[in-house]
């Protein structure tokens, strides 16, 4: 069916464990020309056996992770005897060992993540930059300890380098994400520029420390008020994240 596969440059199939033989063949025909196929599935979640769904449609070779990551995942899964046994394999290199760390608070966990990234960038001899790393979490709320600090740091990076496009996009890409950056309804662009210029002016003074700069920033942007508007129930916790950033800055 060339007329079908010609326009199918990339195909993504979700819940692949619930495909049957006909759907499998249809997917194969759709990808016949470009052969760019991504599937997402979990045999444990198969619920359509009654309509001929076949979990064996899922290939056992895993192409993405290292052997160390896959082996660690399989060891965890194997502890649950009620789950379908997994026999995945990969031809990728072994890679670095996987380790688990426990932390008493989300703040300590966030600090640990940041230190790990900084360490790898510092010792990687140019192999890594900050943008090479991703923090994976099961739910978005778990990143708040990181996110609130990142919002403040975006201001500081832009003040240091007006051409820092990622920081600028972080500040205005989602106009509800940062106080003082809801440019139309809250703060005019000129006022934003004034804040950035003031940060640059303070940074140029030899007797100004980082904590003073951050303190001015959160005051000028009314960051605490923004957090209360954003999430009244969590405002105190979110503000504590910013205060922790201030405390850390005061120590350097």
> Are 129 and 146 in the same domain?
no
> Are 161 and 217 in the same domain?
yes
CATH number of the domain at 177, please. 1.10.486.10
> Are 111 and 145 in the same domain?
no
Span 13-51, pLDDT tens digits: 999 999 999 999 999 888 888 888 888 888 888 888 888
Q: Is residue 91 part of a domain?
A: no
Label residue 184 by pLDDT band (50, 70, 90). Answer: very low
Domain span holding position 129: 101-136
Q: Is residue 42 part of a domain?
A: yes
Average pLDDT across the chain, whole number = 81
Label residue 3 by pLDDT band (50, 70, 90). Answer: confident
> Are 239 and 159 in the same domain?
yes
CA distances from 202 to 171, 210, 214, 216, 251 (A): 20, 9, 10, 9, 18
Question: What is residue 20's predicted lDDT score, i.e. its pLDDT?
Answer: 93
* Residue at which a domain ends, from 88, 120, 136: 136
Span 126-150, pLDDT tens digits: 888 888 888 888 776 677 666 666 7
Count how many domains the chain has: 3
Exposure b/e, 44-82, CB count within 10 A at least 16 = b: eebeeeeeebbbebeeeebeebbebbbbbeeeeeeeeee
Q: Is residue 68 part of a domain?
A: no
> Are 234 and 148 in the same domain?
yes
Q: Is residue 186 part of a domain?
A: yes
Of residues 136 and 234, the one with the higher pLDDT is: 136
């Amino acid at each position: 069916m060339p007329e079908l596969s010609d326009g199918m440059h990339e195909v993504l199939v979700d819940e692949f464990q619930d495909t049957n033989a006909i759907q499998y063949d249809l997917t194969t025909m759709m990808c016949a020309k470009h052969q760019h196929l991504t599937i997402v599935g979990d045999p444990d979640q198969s619920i359509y056996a009654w309509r001929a769904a076949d979990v064996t449609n899922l290939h056992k070779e895993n192409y993405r992770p290292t052997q160390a990551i896959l082996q660690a995942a399989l060891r965890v899964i194997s502890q649950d005897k009620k789950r379908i046994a997994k026999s995945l394999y990969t031809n990728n290199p072994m890679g670095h060992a996987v380790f688990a760390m426990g932390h008493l608070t989300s703040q300590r966990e966030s600090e640990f993540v940041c230190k790990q990234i900084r360490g790898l960038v510092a010792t990687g001899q140019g192999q890594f930059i900050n943008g090479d790393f991703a923090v994976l979490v099961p739910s978005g709320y778990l990143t708040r300890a990181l996110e609130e600090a990142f919002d403040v740091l975006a201001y500081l990076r832009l003040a240091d380098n007006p051409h820092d496009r990622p920081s600028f996009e972080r500040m205005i890409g989602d106009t509800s994400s940062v106080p003082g950056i809801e440019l139309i309804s809250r703060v005019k662009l000129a006022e934003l520029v004034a804040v950035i210029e003031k940060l640059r002016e303070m940074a140029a003074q030899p007797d100004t420390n980082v904590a003073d700069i951050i303190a001015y920033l959160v005051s000028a942007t009314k960051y605490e008020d923004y957090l209360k508007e954003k999430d009244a129930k969590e405002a105190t916790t979110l503000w504590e994240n910013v205060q922790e950033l201030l405390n850390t800055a005061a120590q350097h």
